[in-house]
Amino acid sequence: MTLSELAGKRAPRSLLTNIPRLVAHYYETRPLPSDPLQRVAFGTSGHRGNSLAGTFNEAHILAISQAVAEYRAQAGITGPLYMGLDTHALSEPAWMTALEVLIANGVRVRVQPGLFTPTPLVSHAILEHNRAGVDGVADGIVITPSHNPPQDGGFKYNPPSGGPADTDVTKVVQARANQIMEDELRDVRRVSLEDAMAALEEFDFITPYVTQLPEVIDLDVIRASGVRIGVDPLGGSSLPVWQAIQAAHDLNLTIVNDVIDPSFAFMSVDRDGKIRMDCSSPYAMAGLLALKGDFDVAIGNDPDADRHGIVTADGLMNPNHYLAVMIEYLFQNRPGWRADAAIGKTLVSSALIDRVGASIGRRVVEVPVGFKYFVAGLQSGSFGFGGEESAGASFLRRDGRAWSTDKDGLIPGLLAAEITARTGQTPSARFADLTARLGATAYDRQDAPATPDQKKILGSLSPEQVTATTLGGDPITAKLTRAPGNDEPIGGLKVTTDEAWFAARPSGTEDVYKIYAESFRGPEHLKQVMDEARDVVAAALGGQ
Quick one: what percent of the chain has pLDDT higher than 70?
Answer: 99
Which contiguous run of DSSP H or E holds residue 503? strand 500-506
Of the candidates 211, 193, 189, which has an alpha carbon nearest to the alpha carbon of residue 128? 211
Condensed to tens digits (0 to 9), the pLDDT of residues 127-178 reads 999 999 999 999 999 999 999 999 999 999 999 999 999 999 999 999 999 9
Q: How far is CA 41 from CA 52, 173, 500, in A?
A: 17, 10, 34
Condensed to tens digits (0 to 9), the pLDDT of residues 277-287 reads 999 999 999 99
Count CB atoms within 10 A of the CB of residue 337.
Answer: 22
Q: Beta partners for 517?
A: 444, 502
Residue 241, amino acid = V
Is pLDDT at 543 greater than 60 in this prediction?
no
500 touches 531 (CB < 8 A): no
Return the ∠ at Cα 372 (arms to 158 and 235), rounded to 5°.
Answer: 65
Is pLDDT at 1 greater than 70 in this prediction?
no
Give the per-residue pLDDT at 508: 66
Sign of CA dihedral 479, 483, 489, 491: negative
Count CB atoms within 10 A of the CB of residue 120.
Answer: 29
Rg (CA), the chain: 23
Three-state secondary structure call for residue 393: strand
Q: For 535, list phi and psi in degrees, rounded to 5.
A: -65, -40
Range list of H helices, 117-266: 119-132, 167-182, 193-199, 206-211, 219-225, 239-249
- Residue 244 CA to residue 266 CA, distance in Å, equals 23
Is pLDDT at 77 greater than 70 in this prediction?
yes
Mapping DSSP onto H, E and C, the string for 214-253 reads HHCCCHHHHHHHCCCEEEECCCCCCHHHHHHHHHHHCCCE
User: How high is the mean pLDDT of the chain?
Assistant: 95
As a whole number of Å, the end-to-end CA separation of the chain is: 24
More confident residue, 354 or 452: 354
Q: Beta partners for 393?
A: 387
Condensed to tens digits (0 to 9), the pLDDT of residues 379-421 reads 999 999 999 999 999 999 999 999 999 999 999 999 999 999 9
Residue 518, judged by CB atoms within 10 A of its CB (0-12, 13-18, 19+), counts as: buried
Is pLDDT at 187 greater than 90 in this prediction?
yes
- Residue 488 CA to residue 367 CA, distance in Å, equals 7
Condensed to tens digits (0 to 9), the pLDDT of residues 206-250 reads 999 999 999 999 999 999 999 999 999 999 999 999 999 999 999
406 touches 397 (CB < 8 A): no
Is pLDDT at 544 greater than 70 in this prediction?
no
| Sheet containing 512-519, strands listed edge to edge, beginning at the edge strand earlier in sequence | 442-449, 512-519, 500-506, 489-496, 478-482
For the annotated catalytic residues, the residue numbers are 146
- Tell me what percent of the chain is helix, strand and coil, each rounded to the nearest 5: 40, 20, 40
Give the per-residue pLDDT at 411: 98
- The answer, as to whether pTM is greater than 0.75, is yes
Which positions ≥6 away from 312 have C-beta within 8 Å? 292, 296, 297, 298, 416, 426, 427, 428, 429
Condensed to tens digits (0 to 9), the pLDDT of residues 477-506 reads 999 999 999 999 998 999 999 999 999 988
Three-state secondary structure call for residue 195: helix
